[in-house]
Structures are given as C-alpha cells and as structure tokens.
Structure 1
Amino acid sequence: MILSPDHVTIAVADAGPAIAFFALLGFKKTHVATIDGGVPARYMGMPAIRAQHITLALEGADFEIQLLQFDPPPGTDPGVHPTNLRKLGFNHLAFRVDDIEGATAHLVANGVTMLSEEMDYIGRKLRLFEGPEGITFELVQRDA
C-alpha cells in the first residue's frame, strides 16, 4: 500500500541555516510559499498560522525536506532538546550514503556536530549528527 517516504517537515526558527545545512547533504531549494491562514493553515489545524514553507529536494530522489518558519516563532521549552533520543515522538532522520567517512569529513569540515562515533549494526555503518534546530540525523552506509 505505501510506495515510499514522500517528505519530512521540520519547524525552524530561522530557515537560512537549515537551508545551508541541507545543502551540505545535496538538497536544493525548489519552492517557497507563504502560508497566511487559508486552506493550508486549516489543513494543518492552525487556522491563524503565518509561516514560510520552503521545499528542499534531493536530485535523483523522490523525497523532500520541507521547512516551516513560523512568524512569529513559537516559544520553546529549554528543558527539552531535540537530540535527546529518549523522548517520545520524533527520534531521528536517516540518510543513506555510499561513503560514510567522506560524508562525515565533509560535514565536520563545515561545522556540523557529530554526536556519535561510527557503529557497525546489522550490515550497516551508522553515525549520528546534530542538524538544524537540534534535530538528530544519521548517516547510513549499507554493506555491499
């Protein structure tokens, strides 16, 4: 019934650093829209929402990262940090790569924080990083 993942939406305080971060992974901005009430806001259950909706696509993949930058930004709870993988709800986003060492070097050279050393697990090399707004993402290299 399910064909494939389509997109993931990430709420951000400032879209600029998130766009730059995902560009390091090969994503390109393909669409920008302003949500100011209307059908999209009602669909999301927030009829008074005002936000920028930015779509980032990965060439050759049928998958998007969609960023939502709210205006004004919502308050945050400083006691809850997204890299806390023990909290309920969203845990992390994983991207498959063909060279985890090379991808890691590229990200670290561009200031991305590595959260774990490499781990071998069920035929995969894995490594965790901190992404925009403190979300955790993972690189995955599958054994050939």
Structure 2
Amino acid sequence: MLISALHHVALICSDYARSKHFYTQVLGLPVIAEAYRAARDSYKLDLALPGGGQLELFSFPDPPPRPSYPEACGLRHLAFEVADIDAAVAALQGHGVTVEPVRVDEYTGRRYTFFADPDALPLELYERASD
C-alpha cells in the first residue's frame, strides 16, 4: 500500500452553526459542499484545505464530549501551517479567539502556538520554514 496524501479529517461538533462560522469565517476555509441528512438529523460540511485536503464537519444530536484534559488516547490536535504566525495570531485574536503564547519547537526551531475550536478541540498553528 502506498498512501499518496491525507484526504480529509472529520470532526463532530456540538453546535453546527457556531462551528461552521468558526471554520469558514474565522479560519477562512472555503465550502466545497454542504448537506443535511434527515435520516441522521445531521449536517455534513466539506471544507477545502490548502494543498488539496479536506476537513469534514459533522453534527449529530447530543454527541458525547471529547476528553482533552488530561489528554486522552487518539487524535491529539490538528495543525495548520501558516506563513506568518504573528499575523495569524493577530487575526484569531481579532475574532476573540484565545491563543497561547507562541513557542519554538525545540527540534525544528519553528514557531508554533495552540488555540481551540468552539468545542475545545486543540488546534495548532505551525509557522512554515523560511525559504
């Protein structure tokens, strides 16, 4: 088997409208497709990620909370690469998003920080290496 790329990451949200706003308006991800699935009482929103991947946003009635603290086994966080971490942090803060202080990765020397989506899913900004 040869994996050629990451196709998508799927997230389940507790408040579809709030999460749709966050991912499309705050993070600026373009909508590919949106569907309401009546049999599941669920929305599915496909969002485009730079580089061709996708983020799938699902809503289901009363999903259980995601254990984050202490960290649970499974997906730890999603990381988004940015060209200018200071500008990205300022943009997030302009939308009222709390962002942790920027740190430097001890192994790569690159700058990064964490913030959370509306359901407290940990998200990371990782600064692209300068050319």
In 1, Cα distance between the equivalents of 2:70 and 2:51?
Answer: 27
Question: Which residue of 1 is the match for residue 42 of structure 2?
Answer: 51
What CA distance in whole angstroms lies between the structure 2 residues aligned with 1:9 and 1:66?
4
Q: Percent identity?
A: 29
Q: Of residues 106, 111, 117 in structure 1, which corresponds to 2:101? A: 117
Distance between the aligned counterparts of 1:117 and 1:62, measured in 2? 29
1:33 aligns with 2:35: yes
Residue by residue over 1:49-77, the C-alpha shift from the partner in whole angstroms, topping out at 9 and shown as x without a partner, is: 4311111113x53011111111x323x35
Distance verdict in 2 for CA 1:26–1:61, change over 3 Å: farther
* Partner in structure 2 of residue 13 of structure 1: 14
CA distance in 2 between partners of 1:143 and 1:96 (Å): 10
* Of 73, 87, 100, the match for 1:88: 73
Displacement, 1:81? 4.3
Query: What is the distance in 1 between the residues matched to 2:74 and 2:67?
Result: 12
AA partner of residue 111 (structure 1): G
TM-score when scaled to structure 1?
Answer: 0.78
The separation in 1 between residues aligned to 2:116 and 2:70, in whole angstroms, is: 11
Is residue 130 of structure 1 aligned with residue 116 of structure 2? yes
Aligned with 2:55: secondary structure? strand
TM-score by length of 2: 0.84
Aligned residues: CA RMSD: 1.9
Measured after TM superposition, the shift of residue 104 of structure 1 is 0.2
Hey, what's the Cα distance between the residues in 1 that align with 2:22 and 2:32? Answer: 15
State the distance in 2 between where 1:85 and 1:55 align: 30
How many residues align? The count is 126
Partner of 2:83: 98
State the secondary structure of the residue aligned to 2:123.
strand
